[in-house]
């Protein structure tokens, strides 16, 4: 199993204007592909890339599970739409993302919530020590299919293991096909029209398609179990997007 060392002294500095703690290892250049995408969206007059509504499957999971409070980390939280499911209840919430621009948008919505903190970090590389062994729930919506290199996914799962308390849960949703025989990389680079959110409604702008991986169920299960996580359930999602017709929802627990 890949070993990820915790950052023993988290000396992140505070970006006053963002309200975001940034780990010093996150450098301004080169910017990540998703940071470039968010910048293109905001440059084109978008105030958001994603709609504000939280993820439907996560909402369902929370309303049917017994987990009602504790510490939760939302990995790859982007502009923070899923934070709303936790922000006004008994949760301490940590939103982590590699993109400072998206975190800035998220922070604007939650600046008055003392229990919501944002951390700019690469969640395949670093785990702030204040989160090690502290989390009851870890969420990753739309993150795993961005990690096309298996080593990054294994690092992510090792980090999730380190963050979770024993018995804690990891809820992930990613593009993929539970029933496919193999995983498939979908090439990036093509320019395509995507919908963004502006103050006066939706707008279409050209954006570069990012490379993603459509994991099949067996690969997903193997990687999680090799990381020491226990798969509780795997389901095909309910949400359908024309470009990404299949979703998978996986609930995992730390033994
Ligand atoms: C498809 S978007 C989903 C955003 C958000 N979860 C949502 O549902 O609205 C993927 C997000 O993962 C972030 N991301 C990708 N790789 C990452 C990494 N290695 N560490 C932290 N965040 C990452 C991107 O910046 C982006 O915000």
Tell me: the pLDDT tens digits for 218-253?
999 999 999 999 999 998 865 555 455 577 889 999
Query: Does 6 map to a domain?
Result: no
For the chain, what is the radius of gyration of the CA atoms?
A: 17
Residue 16 pLDDT grade (very low, low, confident, very high; cuts 50, 70, 90): very low
pLDDT for the residue 26: 63
Residue 28, pLDDT score:
63
77 in contact with ligand 1, CB cutoff 6 A: yes
Report if residue 107 sits inside a domain. Answer: yes
Length of the chain: 255
Cα of 66 from ligand 1 centre, angstroms: 27
**Cα 143 to middle of ligand 1, angstroms:** 5
The whole-model pTM stands at 0.90
Is 145 touching ligand 1 by the criterion CB < 6 Å? no
Structural domain harbouring 134: 15-254
Q: Torsions phi, psi of 38, nearest 5?
A: -60, -40
- Mean local confidence (pLDDT), 82-94: 92
The tens digit of pLDDT for each residue in 20-77 reads 666 555 666 678 899 999 999 999 999 999 999 999 999 999 999 988 899 999 999 9
Dihedrals φ, ψ of 122, to 5°?
A: -85, 110
- Domain membership flag for residue 114: yes
Q: Give the distance (Å) from ligand 1 centre to CA of residue 96.
A: 9
Evaluate: CB of 235 within 6 angstroms of ligand 1. Answer: no
Residue 92, domain CATH:
3.40.50.150
CA 119 – ligand 1 centroid, Å: 13
Contact call for residues 207 and 191 (beta carbons, < 8 A):
yes
Domain tally for the chain?
1
Is the residue at 142 inside a domain?
A: yes
Indicate whether 19 belongs to any domain.
yes
Q: Is residue 4 part of a domain?
A: no
């Amino acid at each position: 199993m890949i070993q990820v060392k915790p950052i023993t002294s988290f000396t992140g500095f505070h970006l006053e204007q963002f309200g975001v703690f940034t780990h010093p290892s996150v450098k301004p250049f080169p910017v990540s592909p998703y940071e470039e995408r968010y910048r293109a969206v905001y440059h084109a007059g978008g105030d958001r890339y994603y709609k504000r509504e939280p993820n439907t499957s996560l909402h369902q999971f929370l309303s049917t599970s017994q987990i009602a409070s504790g510490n939760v980390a939302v990995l790859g939280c982007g502009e923070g739409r899923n934070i709303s499911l936790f922000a006004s209840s008994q949760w301490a919430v940590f939103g982590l993302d590699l993109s400072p621009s998206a975190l800035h948008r998220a922070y604007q919505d939650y600046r008055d919530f003392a229990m919501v903190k944002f951390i700019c970090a690469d969640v395949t590389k670093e785990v702030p020590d204040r989160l090690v062994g502290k989390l009851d729930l870890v969420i990753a919506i739309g993150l795993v299919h961005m990690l096309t290199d298996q080593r990054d996914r294994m690092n992510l799962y090792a980090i999730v293991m380190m963050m979770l308390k024993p018995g804690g849960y990891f809820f992930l949703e990613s593009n993929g096909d539970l029933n496919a025989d193999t995983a498939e990389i979908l090439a990036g680079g093509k320019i395509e029209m995507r919908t963004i959110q502006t103050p006066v409604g939706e707008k279409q702008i050209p954006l570069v398609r990012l490379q993603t991986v459509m994991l099949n169920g067996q690969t997903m299960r193997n990687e999680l179990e090799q990381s020491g996580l226990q798969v509780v359930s795997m389901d095909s999602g309910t949400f359908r997007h024309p470009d990404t017709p299949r979703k998978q929802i996986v609930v995992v627990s730390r033994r």
